[in-house]
Amino acid sequence: MFVRLARTFTFEAAHFLPTFPEGHKCRRLHGHSFAVDVVVAGEVDPARGYLVDYGEIKAAAEPVIARLDHYLLNDVPGLENPTSERIAAWLWEQLEAGLPGLSEIVVRETCTSRCEYRGPRGGG
């Protein structure tokens, strides 16, 4: 049985987007209550009956999320232009080695806007 598991994390952070046009609201310093889904996928181990313990996702992701919470994202190395797309790719890079089965990162800046990232080749 193939499944996808997701765990949601939240963080508060400020950013500005220096590549947006002059006068655009996102070019100014502002903040968001971000929500991030970390998704793993794979075949369920028949003997165990599950893919991975949600606690393993938490253990891998929480220290990474803590590096963003209550920070100016532009000051985080690798996030000098912290668009949702770049935040998602940055999170993938931080988590990929330590979280087998990583399949997708979803970053929500607002209730109505999100970025879905499935790795550098798009397939996860």
In whole angstroms, give the CA distance from residue 106 to residue 87: 10
How would you classify the pairing of strands 30-43 and 102-108?
antiparallel
**123 located within any domain:** no
Give the type of residue at 15.
H
**60 located within any domain:** yes
**122 located within any domain:** no
* Residue 57, H or E segment: helix 54-66
CB count in 10 Å sphere of residue 42: 16
Give the domain range for residue 13. Answer: 2-117
**pTM (predicted TM-score):** 0.94
Nearest of 92, 87, 85, 26 to residue 61 by alpha carbon: 92
Q: What is the DSSP string of 2-54?
A: EEEEEEEEEEEEEE--TTSPTT-GGGS-EEEEEEEEEEEEEEPBTTTTBS--H
**23 located within any domain:** yes
Q: What does the pLDDT profile of the chain (124 residues) look like in tens digits?
A: 999 999 999 999 999 999 999 999 999 999 999 999 999 999 999 999 999 999 999 999 999 999 999 999 999 999 999 999 999 999 999 999 999 999 999 999 999 999 999 998 876 4
The CATH number of the domain holding residue 53 is: 3.30.479.10
**86 located within any domain:** yes
**30 located within any domain:** yes
Asked whether the beta carbons of 106 and 61 are under 8 A apart, the reply is: no
In whole angstroms, give the CA distance from residue 41 to residue 20: 35
Question: Mind telling me the catalytic residues?
Answer: 26, 70, 109
Averaged pLDDT score across all residues of the chain: 96
**26 located within any domain:** yes
The three-point CA angle 14-17-21 to 5° equals: 145
Number of domains, the chain: 1
**124 located within any domain:** no
